[in-house]
Structures are given as structure tokens and as C-alpha cells.
Chains A and B, each alone.
Chain A
Amino acid sequence: MTFGRDQLGLAITFMFLAACGGNQMTTTTVAEPGIEGELLVSAAASLTDALTEVASVFETSHPEVDVVLNLGSSSSLREQILEGAPADVFASANTSNMDQVVQAGEAADPRIFITNLLQIAVPAGNEAGVTGLADFANDDLLIGLCAEAAPCGDFGRQALENAGVTPAIDSNEPDVRALLTKIEAGELDAGIVYLTDIASTAGTVEGIDIPEEHNVAANYPIAVMLNAPNPRAADAFVAFVLANEGQAILREFGFGSP
């Protein structure tokens, strides 16, 4: 994330400021005293693109901070944290992984910072002719879901259950990005991912809407770790994510504000 310190980061900030018409934003160019050093953010895989951008803009306004993103399925990240891996901030794709981290005394006071919806992903061209969740029961299609422990796997199964579909699963992928990669490659005919994941691909994956009554809204909580090695930077980062500026970036990537 060190590129955030150079002109590219500045350029992005200026573009962003211009885009937002310079309303009440107060991007501090002078670093706040004491907010410096490496900031370890463990974040759900579905946040990959959005948080990379958020981190870049944050680094521009906090040039002494180097944001390091540790991305993976929320359940893997939870395990890492519970096993004592250092982290300053945890951003989970569901509340249950965050709750377990809070119960273990590793974090307190999580806040929902964004919401997301599910969508069916198919390879560009949709050769298999998938039209909805009902096709997930078709044994002739290659169907992928996220592993049950990963939030996208849990939500995907809930949506299928809401639609009364028993899926003929061919693979349980470790996280949403792994699932998306195999759909992009055309190796799987369909999978259930987040709306934002499909927005992040440049036309290699098509999205098929899941009806509102079957869809499951994902609430993403964020919290500062109680044993954060860099608590001041962590507080500043979480405040940034929750404030207008951070929320605006996240919405650009298709997330909803809570």
C-alpha cells in the first residue's frame, strides 16, 4: 500500500474531491500527531477492491501510516485472530465471525459499516443458460458455492433455502474470490457471490438478480482490536471508514450504507 504516498494517491484524492464537489470534506494534509506506522487490517475477501481504494485514500490523508491489508474469508481471519495473529482492525462479511472475536475478548463495540446483497454469477455469455436459483438443483450444471464456514457460503445456502432449492454442488470454494475466479474461467456454470464481486469484474462474469424475497442482506461489521499493535491509527481508520468520505468510496464499489 506504499504507493498511496506518492502522486498516484494524491491524484486519486484530487479526483475524488472533484467528484464530490468539495462538500464538507476535511482531508487533512498534515498528519495528526501520533498516527503513524503500519496498520494491519484483516478484511473479508469481498472487500478486496473497495478497501484497497479506501486504504489508498486514507494513506493520502495520513501519510505516516502504511495500511497493510490481510484479505481472506472472514472465517479464516477469525481463526487467525483467535490464534493470536496481530491485527489492528477486523472487517468481517458477517456478524457471527465478528461476534466470536468479540466473545473471545479480542474486540469490542463492532459497528456495521456496509451492507451487501447476493447475486448469481455466471461466466460471460451464460452458455449454460442459468436463469435463477432453481438452476442450482440441476445436476448437469457445474455449481459452486463458498464453503459453509465462509459468510458467502452461509448466505448463499440461506438464499437457496429461501427459494426452496436443494443445490447439486460440485465445489465448495474456500472464499468468494476463489469461487469467482473459477466462474470467470468458465469452469463453473454458476455460483452465488456478492453483488459487489460482480461489479468488480470487467465483464468476465454476468450477474443474475436473486428476487428480494429470497435474497439475504450481508451486514459487514468493523472493529478495532483490543490488542491492536497500532490502536491510534486503527481508531482513525475505522472512523474514516464510517465517515462520509469512506462511505462514499465504498458505495462506488456497490456496497450499501447501513
Chain B
Amino acid sequence: MTSPRLRSARPPVLLVVLGALGLAVFVVPLLGLLARTPWSDLPDLLAGEVVTDALRLSLVTSIAATAIAALVGIPLAWLLARVEFPGRTVARGIVTLPLVLPPVVGGAALLFALGRRGLIGEPLNQATGLVLPFSTWGVVIANTFVAMPFLVISVEGALRSLDQRYEGAASTLGAGRWTTLRRVTLPMIAPSLIAGLVLTWARAFGEFGATITFAGSLQGRTQTLPLAVFVALESDRDTAVALSLVMVAVSLTVLVVLRERWWKAL
């Protein structure tokens, strides 16, 4: 924590200039979007069927992806944080890979693994007749692949920095492992857990590259908001801008609210 005296000192001019330029990198594109927004037509544009279909699909798939991430991502984070196993460092690297990998590469990899002729997709298709690409489940899987790292990293970091003596005390007092996890561990990492869940949801909500590569694009089935923006940019620019504005508003609200918590968590 900075002392009150240091806090009130004037920041160096050079830093302010460079920092302001840094901020401009993020602000200028938003201004460009706002300048193009057809404000008076906005309600009509957002009520169109393409928009409502895409919004509904985006909400359903991003929430489903977050639920799957919670189901398997929290146990994964716990294993990575608490259990020494061979290859843990590599596993940590693989978990964070989707953060830096171009999503289109992730989508192609998913296609080769889970596609109709994929490594797992082919036997799956032969056994059950299930085809994941070009289905809403395909969107959920692509979203999960790209977004789950946010949850795993956030929860793993919190677990690692958690003082394990609290859990030790709980078990000394007779709490079983499950009770300790539920009553001590999870409540103590709750801020990071919530931040991780919301970031995961926000990333899934904005997913584009892996989705279009793995799940394709069809209105009502796989065409999420970002895909609808992409299509509309070439055919109906006003709708594209209106859709973009929805995405920015939703994401910005979530991130501004969470910035403080997220910062602490990491």
C-alpha cells in the first residue's frame, strides 16, 4: 500500500503521457463504434429476429459453458493446486494454452478431435449417432474450451495462496474432507471463484473463432452474437454496430464491476 504522502505526489509527466496513450489504444476503437451507432434506429435494430435469436443462443451457450467449466474446472484447479503429480507443470501449461492460442486453432483442433471423422468424434458418432459440429452443443464445447482457463487459473491461484492451516483446523475439529471443502475452502476462495466464473462467462459470451471453426454458423442453432456481428458487418452494418454495442455494454459492465475483485484474486 502506498503511503498518503506518495499518493498525493504529482505523477511524472512522461508517465502520464505514455499511460494516456496506452489508454487511448483501448478507448479509441470504442469511440469509433459509438460514432457509427445509429442511435435512433437502435431499438428497432435490436428487436430483429436475427438479433434476438443470436442473443438467446449466446446467453444459453455461455451459461452452459460456465456450468460445465464449474463442474470440471474447479476440481481440476484443486488437483493442480493441491496434488503433486508427474507432469503437473505441463498440465498447468496446457490449461492456460487456450488463453494465448488463436481461437481458430482451438476450433480446428476441436474439429479434428470431436468432428464426425475426428479422433473421438468418429467412434462417438458410430456408437451414438451424435454429431457435435454444427450443433448447439458444438458451440458450448467451443465456448468451454476457450473460456474455462479463466476459472481454473483464478481458483488455482486462490487455492495456492490460501492458508492451509484453516483447513487443518477444520479437520482437527472433526470435519470430514467433504465438509471442510464445502464449509471452509470454498467460502474462503469465494471471491476468486466468483470472479473466475464471471470472467469465464464473459469470455464464452464473446467467443468467435473457435465457434465458427468448430460449430459453423446457422441462425438459431450456432450463430451466436459475435458470429451475427461478423455476418451483419458484410450485409447490414447498422445491425452489426448495434450488436457490437450490446456486446460492449454487457462485457464492460461485468468487467468494471469485477475489476477490483479480479485484481485481488490474481
Q: Hey, which bits of chain A sit against chain B, CB under 8 A?
A: 73, 75-76, 78-79, 142, 144, 147-150, 169-174, 178, 182, 185-188
Contacts and interface: CB of A to CB of B under 8 A. Distances in A.
18 contacts: A78-B234, A147-B231, A148-B231, A149-B235, A170-B218, A170-B221, A171-B217, A172-B216, A172-B218, A174-B230, A178-B212, A182-B216, A185-B111, A187-B111, A187-B116, A187-B133, A187-B134, A188-B134
Question: Which of A149, A171, A182 has the most chain B CB atoms closer than 10 A to its own CB?
Answer: A171
A33 B47 CA distance: 58
Q: List 10 tightest A-B contacts by C-beta distance, closest first.
A: A171-B216, A149-B234, A75-B234, A186-B117, A149-B235, A170-B134, A187-B115, A172-B217, A171-B134, A187-B133
B222 interface: yes
Nearest to A172: B217
A149 B222 CA distance: 18
A242 to B, nearest CB: 28
Interface residues of B, number: 21
Contacts of A171: 134, 215-218, 222
Contacts of A142: 116, 131, 134
Interface of B: 111-112, 115-117, 131, 133-134, 212, 215-218, 221-223, 230-231, 233-235
A11 B235 CA distance: 43
Interface core residue of B112, B233, B234 (most chain A CB under 10 Å) = B234
B115 A185 contact: yes
A66 to B, nearest CB: 26
B122 to A, nearest CB: 9
A204 to B, nearest CB: 12
Contacts of B222: 171
Contacts of B134: 142, 170-171, 187-188
A78 B237 CA distance: 12
A75 B115 CA distance: 29
A171 B234 CA distance: 17
A186 B116 contact: yes
